[in-house]
């Protein structure tokens, strides 16, 4: 995965006209709804117009765009997506917030389809399969608690053309980790085999209410022309291998019954890898070659 400069995106809370909800308005609306942000659900609401605009800019939306949003919350990003002219499918788990959206955002918005559900059960909302196969994008302030399992579900396909995601820096680091690092794992392989990183921006905690205790990242990922999509059996095998990442890959391969695995490992040795190599030291490109041996 190519590298990109890491830029800092600062808050612009002094520009209330650039955003649907200011920090004060967000707190007041949550108070009216008698709703306390749910830490377990990772509810940190965007209160910064600059970040909203940047997300829409990176997504490159227009009237022909089909978009999926995860966890629309109070609708800050939702309204901006709709303002671009795009059609939107959104999934919100919180019943209070879903009711608010149905009452205050959905009416008069024929281009918005909202479902109340868990995004792990509906990783691309309820977008019709024909639309998903024709091409769609994901734009989301992703709930921190579900970033990795949600991404794993998305990568089961059909794959979005582009993803613009706000997520915890630790999760973003796993997504784009290089082989040989402690954060490189199965999700790194699956994601990087299909997507290239266009840009990565650090985001201040003060751009959210409540302010999270961890750093955030706005990440744009673009689908590769030669995207590799791992079959379920291989994905599960790679996940099992990385649960024992400190063991030698050769011994781990012997425990698996996946066809072609031993031939693939022999291919790695022929390429110059050590017989004692560990899983995290193999590049994502070489992991993607496993498909050729099936």
Residues marked as binding? Answer: 44, 46, 71, 92, 118, 141
Residues marked as binding for S-adenosyl-L-methionine? Answer: 44, 46, 71, 92, 118, 141
72 alpha-carbon distance from chain centroid = 14
- Secondary structure tally for the chain: helices H, strands E: 12, 11
Identify which of 165, 294, 160, 170 has the alpha carbon closest to the alpha carbon of residue 237. Answer: 294
Residue 32 burial by Cβ neighbours in a 10 Å radius (0-12, 13-18, 19+): exposed
Distance from C-alpha of 238 to C-alpha of 246, rounded to nearest angstrom = 14
| Angle, helix 76-83 to helix 49-59, in steps of 10 degrees | 40
**64: phi then psi, degrees, rounded to nearest 5:** -95, 0
Token output for 27: 């707190």
Residue 177 burial by Cβ neighbours in a 10 Å radius (0-12, 13-18, 19+): buried
Sort residue 272 into left (φ over 0), alpha (ψ -120 to 50) or beta.
left
């Amino acid at each position: 995965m190519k590298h990109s400069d890491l830029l800092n995106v600062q808050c612009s809370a002094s520009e209330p006209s650039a955003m649907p909800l200011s920090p004060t308005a967000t707190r007041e609306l949550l108070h009216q709804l008698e709703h306390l942000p749910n830490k377990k659900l990772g509810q940190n609401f965007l209160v910064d117009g600059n970040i909203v605009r940047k997300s829409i800019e990176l997504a490159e939306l227009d009237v022909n765009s089909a978009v999926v949003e995860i966890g629309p919350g109070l609708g800050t990003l939702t309204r901006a997506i709709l303002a671009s002219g795009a059609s939107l499918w959104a999934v919100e788990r919180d019943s209070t917030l879903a009711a608010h959206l149905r009452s205050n955002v959905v009416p008069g918005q024929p281009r918005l389809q909202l479902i109340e559900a868990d995004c792990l059960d509906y990783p691309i909302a309820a977008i019709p399969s024909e639309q998903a196969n024709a091409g769609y994008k994901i734009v989301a302030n992703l709930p921190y608690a579900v970033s990795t399992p949600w991404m794993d579900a998305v990568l089961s396909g059909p794959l979005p053309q582009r993803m613009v995601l706000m997520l915890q820096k630790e999760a973003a680091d796993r997504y784009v980790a290089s082989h040989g690092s402690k954060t490189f794992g199965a999700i790194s392989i699956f994601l990087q085999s299909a997507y290239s990183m266009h840009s990565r921006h650090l985001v201040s905690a003060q751009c959210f209410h409540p302010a999270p205790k961890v750093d955030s990242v706005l990440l744009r990922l673009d689908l590769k022309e030669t995207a590799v999509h791992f079959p379920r059996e291989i994905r599960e095998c790679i996940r099992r291998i990385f649960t024992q990442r400190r063991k030698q890959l050769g011994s781990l391969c012997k425990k698996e019954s996946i066809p072609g695995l031993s031939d693939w490992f022999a291919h790695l040795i022929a390429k110059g890898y050590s017989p004692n190599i560990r899983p995290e030291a193999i590049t994502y490109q070489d992991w993607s070659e496993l498909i050729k041996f099936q």
